[in-house]
């Protein structure tokens, strides 16, 4: 999902992970609640975010537990989403300041698109859940959005909009955000697992995403 951007060139780029960063929750765990597989999915999620498992393989393993679930539960998942404190304010303030905004997620378009549109996010990249006859198949459509995809998206957005890498900021919480965070002008680990915290420029432990704003403001000069 991409929204048209203003004629004026963006002053900077803000890219955020979604699950446990822009949102307080892990969306796949919310879906797994309805499938009765949350405990199993949580265990895999935890290991993946620590960098102990390949993210793409771990996502496919978790999505497989959702096979047969009625796709209508996704509307209830959307209703249950809780943005991280400060997330909507951060993105609103960024856009007011002429910053291009993006969410890049190992989660799912079906969950985040509606909220992202309300928040005025310019660009959203996430996975899509495959469905057949109104039910989840337990598979993901197309290539999985993994660490390399997140990094590539940051670079491509910056290049497309003429934004120097020094004016890019990326924020995430897990190991699959490490490449994106390292590629950004400022990389922020938000309440992060050690695998990300040790490679980030900035570590934020307060549960408020507006703590990112001073770092973004400095990029604007």
208 in catalytic set = no
Question: What is the distance between the alpha carbons of residues 34 and 66, in angstroms, rounded to a whole number?
Answer: 9
CA dist 125 and 137 (Å) reads 21
Q: Are 199 and 181 in contact (CB under 8 A)?
A: yes
Residues 49, 173: contact at Cβ < 8 Å?
Answer: yes
d(CA 188, CA 168): 11
Residues 6+ apart with CB under 8 A from 153: 15, 102, 104, 125, 180
86 CB neighbour count, 10 Å cutoff: 17
- Catalytic: which of 17, 146, 173, 177? 17
Closest among 204, 214, 220, 163 to 17, alpha carbons compared: 204
| Three-state secondary-structure class, residue 104 | strand
54 is an active site residue = no
Please say whether the dihedral angle defined by the alpha carbons of residues 50, 55, 60 and 63, taken in this order, is positive or negative: positive
Positions annotated as catalytic residues are 17, 19
């Amino acid at each position: 999902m991409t929204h048209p951007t203003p004629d004026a060139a963006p002053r900077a780029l803000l890219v955020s992970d979604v699950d446990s960063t822009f949102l307080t929750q892990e969306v796949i765990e919310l879906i797994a609640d309805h499938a009765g597989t949350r405990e199993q999915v949580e265990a895999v999620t935890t290991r993946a975010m620590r960098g102990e498992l390949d993210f793409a393989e771990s996502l496919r393993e978790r999505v497989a537990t959702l096979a047969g679930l009625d796709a209508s539960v996704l509307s209830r998942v959307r209703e249950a989403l809780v943005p991280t404190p400060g997330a909507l304010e951060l993105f609103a303030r960024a856009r007011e300041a002429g910053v291009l905004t993006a969410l890049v997620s190992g989660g799912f378009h079906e969950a985040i698109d509606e909220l992202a549109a309300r928040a005025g996010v310019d660009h959203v990249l996430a996975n899509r859940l495959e469905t057949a006859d109104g039910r989840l198949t337990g598979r993901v459509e197309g290539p999985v959005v993994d660490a390399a995809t997140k990094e590539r998206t940051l670079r491509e957005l910056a290049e497309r909009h003429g934004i120097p890498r020094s004016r890019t900021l990326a924020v995430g919480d897990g190991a699959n955000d490490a490449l994106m965070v390292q590629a950004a002008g400022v990389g922020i680990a938000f309440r992060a697992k050690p695998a990300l915290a040790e490679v980030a420029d900035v570590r934020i432990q307060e549960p408020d995403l507006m703590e990112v704003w001073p770092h973004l403001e400095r990029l604007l000069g």
